Structure 1
Amino acid sequence: MKQRITYVVTNPEEFTPDQLEVGEDKSGPYFALDNVHAAKEHRITLGLNELPEEISKVFQQWHELHLRWTSPRPYASTPPFTSRVSPGLHVFFTPLSDTPDDALCSSLHSLISSDLKCSSTSSSSTKMPVLSERFSMSATSQYYSYLDDIDRVRSFFQQKFCKKDGKSYCLDAIDGFALSDYVDVDYDTISRSVVLTAESSNAGSAKKGWTETIRLPSEEATVEIGVLSLEGNADPEDVQFGGFLTVLGQDDKPKPTRFQTSTRHYPLLQASKNPTAQPKLHPLTYSTSFNQPTGLHPTLTLTFPAHHLTPPDRSCKLHTHLTLPSYLFIDKYQFSDALFLADKNLKRLRSLAGATDLEAPDWVVPAWGSAALFELATPKPEKIEYPKVSLGDGEESVWEDLPTHREVPEGDWNVSIPLHLRYMPAQAASHARLPVPWPVVFWACRADSGAQHTTNPFDRMHLGYEGLFGPKTRFMHVEPKAWNQTDSGELVEWINVPVLDTRMAGWVEGGTVGVVLFAFVGLCWMLFRNIGKGDVEDEKKTQ
């Protein structure tokens, strides 16, 4: 088992090395932090032989399997942990030739809930659209379900992993994963290893830092620990970090370090004429809402502050990726009209995959839903100046990622995406309350070092939309507006859908029978009345 724990300090000016301590006591070596405000990533790599046999067999059914769970709780991204997916459980996978068709659904039902909409791998999953050859080896299929927490999963893994020794280290590690902002699980047949990654934007409270002691899970184990901070960098396609690294069990004190790496998911930073200065996140945010009343044709609205909505680079285009459960769908034919797109502040529908039947009710749609990628229109500024910055040795270059002057009107910029609701099954209520996860929003920009992205130790892959872009693309993510959420305080909208109320079904049935019977009697009366009149008229004519 390998472990890597990384803390990325959010306020480098307030951090000092005195807040770290490496020592040893009667319980063994330890690494202690004292009130360190940072985002934390905990990564554990396990071989198949280190897993319980039951779980190991589950992974061996797949060529590759990638789970992405994101909490609906709003959280602030800290570079390099900037990539996002919509809240809920995403499963990206490629089955082997002999993988049973019920392998995915049976595992999810036993692990999470038997109520998940999943009948078989072939019918419940959707094919992943891949437009770039670079991602031709990525997962072939996708499954999604809205899942607001993973308490059920936490209990399962604690029973399977910690039942033998009952050590608090095992229990605490799983508890920490369950409280994270997102959790990733990755497996492939080449490495034959399972990688669990959990990220937390803070220590559970924005006002509290990490105060904890890390110990070794066993005497022969080691744990790599880094406490880093993002630094300014003259290369717009790389990120640079400085801080301290230690290998618990080998080092007796943290060692200073500094390293630079290219990244696929780049933080959206504020403009600065001095690229080596401490970078700060860009103020651009977005919020999601539905026009009220939603009805059966709800319109999803993305709202941006217009004066911040300037491309960070001339090559950047704004996109949003929607994950829509089966009860919602998009009519792709609506988005073929240029005037319609312009009215909604949309450029085009770039991709749509999944359940797209326009007439089917929800109970006959076996797939989990659909995924859509839109390119969004942005307000056109009258002027953008990209300043020149010094690269040393008298050279100058245009820092295209940092516009310092823009003339964009104040106010909100709204993007509207019309959706459609399917008819829902009858239930003992007049309305069904359904969740709609917030989409992710990002700038897709041209990168010159696309082939080097794989060297980044923090990059995430298999997010559902990378294969829709070319190999030299970097994603600059826009933050959700966390301080102005919905009533639930989550990155999910709830809509009320009218359904057939089974409590009123008796009245409906009786009324229907009554109307049919009344119509039948009326029809018979009209029919026999006309027949009687016809006989009288025939008799008069005969006389």
Structure 2
Amino acid sequence: MKRRITFVQRVDAAFDPQQAVLTASSLSVHDLDAARQDRITVGLNELPEELRAVFEQSHELHFRWASERPYDAVAPFTSRVSPGLHVLYTPLDSDSSSEALCTLLRTIVAPSKDAQYKDCLKPEDSFITPPLLSTRFASSASLQYHTHLPDIQSLVKYIENAICTNVGADSNECRTWASALLSADSVDIDYDSISHALTVSGLWIDTPPGGWTDQFNKPASPTDQIEFGLLGAEAGLEPEEIKMGGLLAVIGQDEKLKPTMFSFPSRHQPLTEPATYTASFAPPTGLHPTMSISMPRSSLKRPPAPSTATCALHTYLTLPSAIFGDQYQLATTDPLFLDSHNLVALRALAGEMDLEAPDWVVPRWGSNWLLELATPPKSTDTDSTAGSSNWTVTIPLHLRYLPPSETGYRTAHVPWPIVFWACTAEDGTKMGVNPFDRTNLGWDGLFGPRTMFYQLQPAGERLVDDIDVPVLRIEGGDSYFQGKSIELGTCVVISLGFFWVLWRLARVAWSSGLGSNDGKNRAEAVHDKKE
């Protein structure tokens, strides 16, 4: 097992050399003000058999979990996904996929009775296929899944039982590390068939009260390794570069912390000025809620990309099956509609698009939407009144009919979308893999391989909106129109209607028969008279 511990200090954070002390057997940090990333890498042969069975049938498998808590991302950890659990998967055999993956999902998600969760039976039936606009972008998985997951207690428990019990003498330290993931802002799990290794990463952006104080001991096994880094990040010489410098060490091998300085091109870049947004649904939502994305105009300044780059503002929505957009409405080119919502165009969509289906017949988890957003005209930038107001984008959505409940309402958990600038890089720029590169986010594969992303920061107390959806009230409530009453009444009405139709048909048939006999008698009478 290999472990990498990285602390990234902000530019204004103070540091004393005595806050990081390296000895022959350990390294300790004291009162450190920094963001922290912990990453462990485990070989496939170190995993239990049931977990190996999942990975051996996967070309690549990625889990991305993000907390509902807001945080201010720092370079080089500026990439984001919407809150919840995202699974991106490419089967080893394109004609089949692993049912064991769905079994694993049910274990790590552990949905409760009232959870908003679409059961996974087979990935090809429960996952959606993202529209990969860039086939050259190698890190784009072929199947995608998302579910609402406020915490990862079940995932942490699974890591403790499935991974930490197989790492030998360091199992207690592994369990301690796994328990710490409960407070992480995001957790990534990655596997690919090339490396045959499983990587688990946890990210903590906010410093705990008093700063980070911890001790990292030399691993007991000679095959294990712990790398430590204390770094700072700043803008590189080129617009697409991030420059980092600080101290590095391999615990148990190095005698002292070694200074370092390096730079690398990065797809995910920080904005030089604070840029935030909020998402909300205006009450009452009804069955046709409208999502509003509000941004201060000061947050919409062009990102620090090269002057020759083309930049556009986008939002990427991750919608559960209970709520969806009308693809025909949002894909319109009608300028009146687009201007009224401050939209430019619908760029990509995937998932459940049936406009009429109730939620209980929708097999897949939901849908994704990539929309390009309009920005304020430059003429208003100099207007102090306009500059102090917010720029609001509205996206009309629709709710599906949900199963009945005892209260007459069900809750749809809608994660906040992400908002970001996408800018083209200069020709010849190589966005190679860097030590902190983060791919397979679900939306990055919708752009070219040299695109640079600048993400706005969500500003809110909780990055998930709960919408109360009116549904049929089942037996047990105090409403007159209860489920059983309506069911019985419907059967009675249908039966009465059926018998009424039969009665009308019988009358028509009887009347037709009488009419035929009368006509025959009249014809015979006329014939006799002529004779």
- The two structures have a TM-score, normalised by structure 1, of 0.84
Query: Counterpart in 2 of 1:310?
Result: 301
Query: Counterpart in 2 of 1:431?
Result: 409
Alignment of 1:472 with 2:468, yes or no, is no
CA deviations on 1:264-283 (whole Å, 9 max, x unpaired) are 000111xxxxxxxxxxxx22
Query: Counterpart in 2 of 1:227?
Result: 230
Indicate the percent of aligned positions where both proteins have the same amino acid.
44
Distance change (3 Å), C-alpha of 1:298 and 1:376 = same
Q: CA deviation at 1:157?
A: 2.0
Q: CA deviation at 1:448?
A: 2.2
Q: Structure 2 residue aligned with 1:355, among 352, 356, 362? A: 352
Unaligned runs of 5+ in 1: 270-281, 386-404, 536-543
Query: Counterpart in 1 of 2:17?
Result: 17
Distance change (3 Å), C-alpha of 1:171 and 1:497 = same
CA RMSD of aligned residues (A): 2.9
| Residues 118 and 365, structure 2, Cα contact 8 Å, conserved in 1 | no
Query: Counterpart in 1 of 2:177?
Result: 173
Query: Counterpart in 2 of 1:249?
Result: 252
Q: CA deviation at 1:434?
A: 1.5
| Residues 47 and 162, structure 2, Cα contact 8 Å, conserved in 1 | no
Distance change (3 Å), C-alpha of 1:341 and 1:450 = farther
Which amino acid is the alignment partner of residue 51 of structure 1? Answer: L
Alignment of 1:215-294 (within 5 A): 215-220=217-222, 221-269=224-272, 282-294=273-285
Distance change (3 Å), C-alpha of 1:527 and 1:462 = closer
| SS of residue matched to 2:379 | coil
Distance change (3 Å), C-alpha of 1:508 and 1:39 = same
Query: Counterpart in 2 of 1:190?
Result: 194
Q: Structure 2 residue aligned with 1:298, among 283, 289, 294? A: 289
- The two structures have a TM-score, normalised by structure 2, of 0.86
| Residues 244 and 255, structure 1, Cα contact 8 Å, conserved in 2 | yes
Q: Give me the whole-angstrom Cα distance separating, in 2, the residues matched to 1:450 and 1:384.
A: 34
| SS of residue matched to 1:92 | strand
Q: Give me the whole-angstrom Cα distance separating, in 1, the residues matched to 2:279 and 2:196.
A: 40
Q: Give me the whole-angstrom Cα distance separating, in 2, the residues matched to 1:511 and 1:364.
A: 24
Which amino acid is the alignment partner of residue 292 of structure 1? Answer: P
CA deviations on 1:223-253 (whole Å, 9 max, x unpaired) are 1111111234332211111211111111122
Q: Give me the whole-angstrom Cα distance separating, in 2, the residues matched to 1:253 and 1:508.
A: 77
| Residues 321 and 372, structure 1, Cα contact 8 Å, conserved in 2 | yes
| SS of residue matched to 1:18 | helix
Q: Structure 1 residue aligned with 2:157, among 155, 158, 177? A: 155
Q: CA deviation at 1:14?
A: 1.4
Query: Counterpart in 1 of 2:419?
Result: 441
Q: Give me the whole-angstrom Cα distance separating, in 1, the residues matched to 2:171 and 2:299.
A: 50
Alignment of 1:503-518 (within 5 A): 503=475, 504-512=482-490
Deviates more, 1:332-341 or 1:443-452: 443-452
| SS of residue matched to 1:506 | helix
Q: CA deviation at 1:103?
A: 2.9
Q: Give me the whole-angstrom Cα distance separating, in 2, the residues matched to 1:181 and 1:449.
A: 35
Query: Counterpart in 2 of 1:85?
Result: 81
Query: Counterpart in 2 of 1:209?
Result: 211
Q: Give me the whole-angstrom Cα distance separating, in 2, the residues matched to 1:79 and 1:411.
A: 28
Q: CA deviation at 1:263?
A: 0.5
Distance change (3 Å), C-alpha of 1:518 and 1:193 = closer
Q: Structure 1 residue aligned with 2:322, among 323, 327, 332? A: 327
- Find the structure with the greater CA-based Rg: 2
| Residues 97 and 122, structure 2, Cα contact 8 Å, conserved in 1 | no
| Residues 62 and 99, structure 1, Cα contact 8 Å, conserved in 2 | no
CA deviations on 1:381-417 (whole Å, 9 max, x unpaired) are 23989xxxxxxxxxxxxxxxxxxx9996220111001
Query: Counterpart in 2 of 1:416?
Result: 394
Q: Give me the whole-angstrom Cα distance separating, in 1, the residues matched to 2:252 and 2:427.
A: 36
CA deviations on 1:204-229 (whole Å, 9 max, x unpaired) are x3x43101111133242321111111
| Residues 425 and 499, structure 1, Cα contact 8 Å, conserved in 2 | yes
Deviates more, 1:419-428 or 1:338-347: 419-428
Distance change (3 Å), C-alpha of 1:104 and 1:23 = same
| Residues 326 and 370, structure 1, Cα contact 8 Å, conserved in 2 | yes
Q: CA deviation at 1:109?
A: 1.6
| SS of residue matched to 1:382 | helix
Q: CA deviation at 1:145?
A: 0.9
| Residues 238 and 262, structure 1, Cα contact 8 Å, conserved in 2 | yes
Alignment of 1:146 with 2:142, yes or no, is no
| Residues 139 and 439, structure 2, Cα contact 8 Å, conserved in 1 | no
Which amino acid is the alignment partner of residue 195 of structure 2? Answer: S
Query: Counterpart in 2 of 1:46?
Result: 42
Query: Counterpart in 1 of 2:56?
Result: 60
Q: Give me the whole-angstrom Cα distance separating, in 1, the residues matched to 2:284 and 2:81.
A: 27
Q: Give me the whole-angstrom Cα distance separating, in 2, the residues matched to 1:238 and 1:384.
A: 29
| SS of residue matched to 1:448 | coil
Which amino acid is the alignment partner of residue 31 of structure 2? Answer: N
Q: Give me the whole-angstrom Cα distance separating, in 2, the residues matched to 1:6 and 1:498.
A: 48
Q: Give me the whole-angstrom Cα distance separating, in 2, the residues matched to 1:529 and 1:190.
A: 77
| Residues 140 and 442, structure 2, Cα contact 8 Å, conserved in 1 | no
Distance change (3 Å), C-alpha of 1:461 and 1:450 = farther
How many aligned residue pairs are there? Answer: 492
Query: Counterpart in 2 of 1:376?
Result: 373
Deviates more, 1:98-107 or 1:209-218: 98-107
Unaligned runs of 5+ in 2: 112-116, 476-481, 515-531
Alignment of 1:127-138 (within 5 A): 127-135=129-137, 138=140
Query: Counterpart in 2 of 1:388?
Result: none
| Residues 281 and 290, structure 2, Cα contact 8 Å, conserved in 1 | yes
Which amino acid is the alignment partner of residue 73 of structure 1? Answer: R
| Residues 12 and 229, structure 1, Cα contact 8 Å, conserved in 2 | no
Q: CA deviation at 1:193?
A: 1.0
Q: CA deviation at 1:429?
A: 2.3
